[in-house]
Amino acid sequence: MRAMAEDSASLELLVAGACAGDDAAFTRLVAAYHEDLLRVAFVITGDADMAADAAQLAWQTAWRKLRNLREPDRLRSWLVAIAANEARQLTRRQRRRSVVEIAVAPESSTAGEPTGAISRLDLTNAINRLTPDDRELIALRYVMGLDSFEIAAARGRSASGIRARIARVLAQLRRELDRD
Amino acid sequence: MTEQRIAPDFERRLQDALRSYSTEGVRAFNPALISERARSAGVGPLGRAWPRGLLRRVDPRVLRVALLVALLAVALVIALAGSRRTVPSLPVPGLVAIGTTGQILVGDPLSGRFQAFPAGAHDTTPVWSPDGKRIAFSQIGGRDPIQVVDADGRNLHAVIDGMGAGEPPAWSPDGARIAFAGYRYPGGAEPGLWVVGADGTGPTRLVASDAHPNRLAWSPDGSMIAFAQFDGEHSYVHVVDVASGAVTLVSSPLVDHLEEMAPLAWQPGKVALLYARAAENLGHDLVIAERIDGTWVERPLISDLLAGAAEPMWLDGQRFVFLRSSLGPGTSSLERRPVVGRADGTIERVLGDAPIEPVALGCVAPDGSGAAFPVGTNGTPDAIDLLMLPTDGRPATRYPAGAWVSGGVACSWQAVGP
Nearest-angstrom CA–CA distance, B348 and B320: 10
pLDDT at B238 over 90: yes
Nearest-angstrom CA–CA distance, B1 and A101: 37
Of the residues A56, A124, A175, the best mutation for testing chain B's interface (the one with the most B CB atoms within 10 Å of its CB) is: A175
pLDDT at B46 over 50: no
Smallest CA–CA separation between B47 and chain A, in Å? 6
Contact list, A63 vs chain B (CB under 8 Å): 38, 41, 43-45
Q: What is the pLDDT of residue A157?
A: 59
**What's the pLDDT band for B142 if we cut at 50, 70, 90?**
low
Say how many CB pairs under 8 Å bridge A and B. Answer: 214
Q: What is the pLDDT of residue A93?
A: 66
Average pLDDT over residues B226-231: 83
Nearest-angstrom CA–CA distance, A124 and A119: 9
Q: What is the pLDDT of residue B340?
A: 97
Q: What is the pLDDT of residue B179?
A: 97
**B407 backbone dihedrals φ, ψ, rounded to 5°:** 65, -140
What percentage of chain B reaches a pLDDT higher than 70? 74
Smallest CA–CA separation between B291 and chain A, in Å? 29
Nearest-angstrom CA–CA distance, B106 and B126: 10
Per-residue pLDDT tens over the stretch B172-215 = 999 999 999 888 887 778 889 999 999 999 999 999 987 778 88
Per the CB < 8 A criterion, the answer to whether A146 and A79 are in contact is no
Q: Do A179 and B188 count as a contact with CB atoms less than 8 A apart?
A: yes
Four-way CATH pick for A2-97+130-177: 3.40.190.10, 1.10.1740.10, 3.40.50.300, 3.30.360.10: 1.10.1740.10
Q: Do B408 and A160 count as a contact with CB atoms less than 8 A apart?
A: yes
**What's the pLDDT band for B308 if we cut at 50, 70, 90?**
confident
What single-letter amino acid sits at B305? L
What single-letter amino acid sits at B250? V
Per-residue pLDDT tens over the stretch A38-51 = 999 999 999 998 99
What single-letter amino acid sits at B59? D
Q: Which of B35, B141, B336 sits opposite A171 (nearest CB)?
A: B141
Q: What is the pLDDT of residue B77?
A: 60
pLDDT at B53 over 70: no
pLDDT at B5 over 90: no
Q: First-to-last CA distance in chain B?
A: 43
Q: What is the pLDDT of residue B332?
A: 53
Per the CB < 8 A criterion, the answer to whether B412 and B126 are in contact is yes
Q: What is the pLDDT of residue A174?
A: 81
The β-bridge partners of B113 are: B108
Distances (CA, A) of A173 to A46, A179, B234: 16, 10, 19
Low-confidence residues in chain A, pLDDT < 50: 1-6, 95-111, 180
Cα A111 to chain centroid, rounded: 25
Per-residue pLDDT tens over the stretch B109-139 = 777 788 888 887 666 789 999 988 999 998 7
Q: What is the CA radius of gyration of chain B?
A: 24
* Angle subtended at Cα B5 by Cα A179 and Cα B8, rounded to the nearest 5 degrees: 15
Per-residue pLDDT tens over the stretch A124-153 = 888 888 878 889 999 999 999 887 767 776
**B366 backbone dihedrals φ, ψ, rounded to 5°:** -55, -30
Domain ranges of chain A: 2-97+130-177
Per the CB < 8 A criterion, the answer to whether B192 and B165 are in contact is no
Tell me how many helices (H) and strands (E) chain A has: 9, 0
Per-residue pLDDT tens over the stretch B206-225 = 999 877 788 899 999 999 99
Q: Do A180 and B2 count as a contact with CB atoms less than 8 A apart?
A: no
Minimum Cα–Cα distance from B34: chain A residue: A56
A39: left (phi over 0), alpha (psi -120 to 50) or beta: alpha
Assign domain B93-414 to its CATH superfamily.
TolB, C-terminal domain (2.120.10.30)
Domain ranges of chain B: 93-414
Q: Which of residues 103-162 of B touch A (CB under 8 A)?
A: 122-123, 140-143
Per-residue pLDDT tens over the stretch B91-104 = 445 788 888 777 88
Nearest partner of B361 among B179, B140, B157, B193, judged by Cα: B140
Q: Which of A19, A38, A179 sits opposite B186 (nearest CB)?
A: A179
Per-residue pLDDT tens over the stretch B332-390 = 556 789 999 999 999 999 999 888 878 778 899 888 989 998 887 765 556 788 888 99
pLDDT at B10 over 70: yes
pTM: 0.66
Count Cβ atoms within 10 A of the Cβ of residue A152 and give its class: 0-12 exposed, 13-18 middle, 19 or more buried: buried
Q: Do A34 and B34 count as a contact with CB atoms less than 8 A apart?
A: yes
